[in-house]
Amino acid sequence: MAFIPPKLTDFNICSSFWVVILNDFIARFCGMIVKSICIIAVGHRPPFKRRGQLYSAIESATHLYRTLLPITVWVSYLYSLQQNGDHIFSSVMIGLYLTIKLSSTIERVKLCFSTLRAFVLHEVLYGKKATSEQIMEAGDVCSICRSNLISPIVLRCNHIFCEDCVSQWFELEKTCPICRTPCRTAGNKTHADGSTTYYLQLF
């Protein structure tokens, strides 16, 4: 869990898989515990969009950590093959593994930074902030909640809604509530509902 090579008397592929699977389960449940603590601590006080961004940031950070965890285990296992005289095979496999792992890690780092940036900078996920002129022209009433606009944003179809209202709408639909124009998210919303991936990070 702390990126320290495991100390095993019999370092074989079965024991390596066991350590990797165990570490991955622990890391996944640690991420779930962090999200549970956030739910208990903040409850429903933050806006809907902010909660989704928080869950996405936690899950992305957990994914990055889980991606890095198996490296020391598999490098140690491949290095142990040199004890049997397989120096060339061991070196080649370590090089291939680290090269492939680097590309996947870079993608995870980019995803993690994008979700963290969206949460810290309060980025708008859909459309852009509405100007005062646009609000005056469209009227200061949200078509979803039928109340005064709060943090109004304008979609690419020029319809204006409360940011929290339209964020909840886009959790179910991907079109404008009025004209049904398709709208794509401007940020990453991976696991914004607080869910956790089920797959194992074996390598």
Q: Are residues 37 and 102 in the same domain?
A: yes
Q: Give domain status of residue 142, yes or no.
A: yes
Q: Which whole number is the average pLDDT over 162-182?
A: 82
Q: Give domain status of residue 84, yes or no.
A: yes
Confidence of residue 29 (pLDDT cuts 50, 70, 90): very high
Cα–Cα distance between 178 and 170 in angstroms, integer? 13
Confidence of residue 101 (pLDDT cuts 50, 70, 90): very high
The helix or strand, by DSSP H or E, that contains position 171, with its residue range, turns out to be helix 163-172
Q: Give domain status of residue 23, yes or no.
A: yes
Give the total number of structural domains in the chain: 2
Least confident segment among 39-43, 69-73, 133-137:
39-43
Confidence of residue 33 (pLDDT cuts 50, 70, 90): very high
Name the nearest CA neighbour of 151 among 47, 43, 42.
Answer: 47
Neighbouring C-beta atoms of residue 66, cutoff 10 Å: 22
Checking if the pLDDT of 148 tops 80, the result is yes
Q: Give domain status of residue 181, yes or no.
A: no
Checking if the pLDDT of 46 tops 60, the result is no
Name the nearest CA neighbour of 177 among 131, 125, 126.
Answer: 126
Main-chain phi, psi angles of 103, to 5 degrees: -65, -45
Percentages (nearest 5) of helix, strand, coil residues in the chain:
60, 5, 35
Question: Within 13 Å of residue 114, how many CA atoms lie on the same side as its CB?
Answer: 13
Bridge partners of 182, per DSSP, are 175
Q: Do the Cβ atoms of 162 and 172 come closer than 8 Å?
A: no
Q: Give domain status of residue 28, yes or no.
A: yes
Q: Give domain status of residue 113, yes or no.
A: yes
Tokens of 152: 């109004």
Residue 21's pLDDT is 92
Neighbouring C-beta atoms of residue 167, cutoff 10 Å: 25
Q: Are residues 104 and 133 in the same domain?
A: no
pTM (whole model) above 0.75: no
Q: Are residues 143 and 52 in the same domain?
A: no
Tokens of 83: 């004890």
CATH of the domain at 139: 3.30.40.10
Helix 87-120 to helix 70-80 angle (10° resolution) is 170
Q: Give domain status of residue 184, yes or no.
A: no
Q: Give domain status of residue 192, yes or no.
A: no
Mean pLDDT of the chain: 82
Checking if the pLDDT of 91 tops 80, the result is yes
Q: Are residues 115 and 132 in the same domain?
A: no
Least confident segment among 17-21, 29-33, 75-79, 127-131:
127-131
Domain of 93 in residue numbering reads as: 13-120
